[in-house]
Amino acid sequence: MKSQVLIIGGGISGLSTAWWLAQRGISVEIWESGSRPGGKIRSHSEAGYLTEDAAALLVNFRPQVDQMISCLGLDEHRQQRNEGLNRYIVHHDRLTPVPMLLPALLTSSLWSLPAKLRLMAEPFVPKGAHTGETVSEFIRRRLGQEVLDTAMDAFVSGTLASDPDLAEAQSVLPRLTTLEQRYGSLTMGMFINKVIKRRRANNADTFSFDNGMEQLIQALVQTPGIRLRTSAKALRIQQVKRGWRVQGKIGGLPADLQVPQLILSTPADISSQLLEETDTTLSGLLADIEYAPVGVVHLGLNSNHIQHKLDGTGFLVAKHNSLPVNGNLWMSSLFPHRAPPGKTLLSSYIGGMRHPDQLQQDDETLAGAVLDSLRPLMKIEGDADFISIRRHPRGLPLYHGQYRARLAQIATCLQTLPCLQLNANYIGGVSVRERIYQGKCTAQAVTGNLKQSNSISHP
């Protein structure tokens, strides 16, 4: 059967969109330029360790994600995070637990008395923000400078590879900014959501899969109605009367395909190049989206060489600590069977806006710097007996500047291209959760477009 939709890009954005379309009985073809699907999501089993190239887990509060996982038959393969684990942050050169409930916040050693009083005053802070308010401006205004320096800087830099002084609050912290707009206060908003039994941010379900995050990718690929073409590179796209013509190469051979609906799930720069002939304004908006280099250093060590209790998920690092890592996950504490018996797997995240040149260092230098930074924090003796390093020079898009205004301009351009959709991690969030959710939104838009075009063709 001839495909109704072509998706260029076989990462989690493209695959999730294809899955939602397939559930509606719409045939989909995916062109993936690489030799395998999944983009940066890849799991490796090496020397008894299970490591991840990029996303190591899925933090979920959306029912759409649960629906997909259940339909894929992955419920029995979910590995839940131990909810009793602490979350740590580096504070005064020590690992300090981050309290997750308000009463504990007010007794924590993380903040001074003036900072705690400032936190208590949050409900009385007037609502208000200017267009394009940065994360730093938002957190400073609502919670104070000390909370920004100690916690939020670590979150934005450690998990998003971004700079809180440049990142737009509404794009990076949409749930918090929505609480302010809806309730006038973050504290009151969280309390009201609890009372009416809505999910709170700290109640998110966190999990991976038996064989790592790539198990999700493999399940999506096997969905009936999805035709995956690897080593398939799009070189030119042209708008035609009833859709799009795509020319490229598949396995090195020329390919030419015409489809009613086209979805670009490629990084912004690649989508920009493909659209240059069609819409120079849209192409320029995409070309100007910045990316941060990110990497992960996996270290395997003897467990008896680590004196820290490893009773947590790991830790994040605020920039004033001047450490070469942005954060560290204790993968063998998070999930079972990630390391051989008697061993511990520590995964450190590097690069980002804080250390943009770090990925240029050789493996020995990188691994040595990371281990040296972990030694005093976790009281580590001896050397690592397993080292694996993954680099992503264009790792994560940066939601810097007035990013929502940029997305609005992109949406305006797309209104003149009704047979085209953009769905990649520079729109709607970088997490696997948001890529699955945005995949459903894109599938809904495509379904509506196909119905409309069919009604016009068959009055």
Using DSSP, state whether 177 is helix, strand or coil.
Answer: helix
3-class secondary structure, 227: strand
Q: How high is the mean pLDDT of the chain?
A: 92
Q: How far is the C-alpha of 21 from the C-alpha of 224, rounded, in Å?
A: 11
Identify the pLDDT of residue 451: 83
User: Do residues 311 and 344 touch, judged by C-beta distance below 8 A?
Assistant: no
Q: What angle do CA 23, 26, 29 make, to 5 degrees?
A: 105
Letter string b/e over residues 25-52, b meaning 16 or more CB atoms within 10 A of that residue's CB: ebbbbbbbbeeebbbbbbbeeeeebbbb
pLDDT at 199: 46
User: pLDDT-derived band of residue 129, with 50, 70 and 90 as boundaries?
Assistant: confident
**Would the pLDDT of 84 be above 60?**
yes
The residue among 28, 440, 439 whose CA lies nearest residue 260 is 28
The secondary structure element, H or E, covering residue 206 is: strand 205-209
In angstroms, the CA 119 to CA 112 distance is 11
pLDDT per residue as tens digits for the range 248-270: 999 999 999 999 999 999 999 99
Output the CATH code of domain 100-196. 1.10.3110.10
What would the mean pLDDT of 131-149 be, rounded to a whole number? 93
> Each residue of 350-400: pLDDT tens digit?
999 999 999 999 999 999 999 999 999 999 999 999 999 999 999 999 999
The reported pTM is 0.93
Using an 8 Å Cβ cutoff, are 40 and 53 in contact?
Answer: yes
* pLDDT higher than threshold 70 for residue 102: no
Instruction: Return d(Cα 147, Cα 3) in angstroms, integer.
Output: 51
Which helix (DSSP H) or strand (DSSP E) does residue 270 occupy?
A: helix 268-275
Beta-bridge partner residues of 250: 232, 253
Q: What is the pLDDT of residue 443?
A: 97
Question: Based on the number of CB atoms within 10 Å of its own CB, is 66 exposed (0-12), middle (13-18) or buried (19 or more)?
Answer: middle
Indicate if the pLDDT at residue 281 is higher than 50. yes
Mean pLDDT of 85-97: 92
The partner residues of 345 in beta bridges, in order of sequence, read: 300
- What's the CA gap between 308 and 97, in Å, rounded? 13
The per-residue pLDDT for range 17-44, each reduced to its tens digit, is: 999 999 999 999 999 999 999 999 999 9
| Inter-CA distances, 377 with 90, 92, 94, Å | 8, 10, 6
pLDDT, average across residues 118-126: 90
Q: Which residue has the higher pLDDT, 344 or 336?
A: 344
Domain ranges of the chain: 5-39+214-289+399-457, 46-53+57-83+291-397, 100-196
Do residues 335 and 79 lie in contact, with contact meaning Cβ atoms separated by under 8 Å? Answer: yes
**Residue linked to tokens 């980002």:** 352
**In sequence order, which ranges of 321-431 are alpha helices (DSSP H)?**
331-334, 363-378, 403-414
pLDDT value for 203? 55
Report which DSSP code applies to 265: -
Helix pair 186-195, 174-183: axis angle to 10 deg? 90
Whether 310 has a pLDDT exceeding 50, the answer reads yes
Tell me which of 3.90.1150.10, 3.30.750.200, 3.50.50.60, 1.10.3720.10 is the CATH number of domain 5-39+214-289+399-457: 3.50.50.60
CA within 13 Å, CB half, 197: 0
CATH of domain 46-53+57-83+291-397: 3.90.660.20
Give the whole-number percent of the chain exceeding pLDDT 70.
95
| pLDDT score recorded for residue 196 | 64
Strands 5-8 and 261-264: parallel
Q: How far apart are CA 232 and CA 21, in angstroms?
A: 21
| Higher local confidence (pLDDT), 232 or 101 | 232
Joined together, the tokens standing for residue 71 give 């339909």
Q: How do residues 171-220 score in pLDDT, each as one tens digit?
A: 999 989 999 998 898 888 877 766 665 544 445 789 999 999 999 999 99
Are the CB atoms for 220 and 241 separated by under 8 Å? no
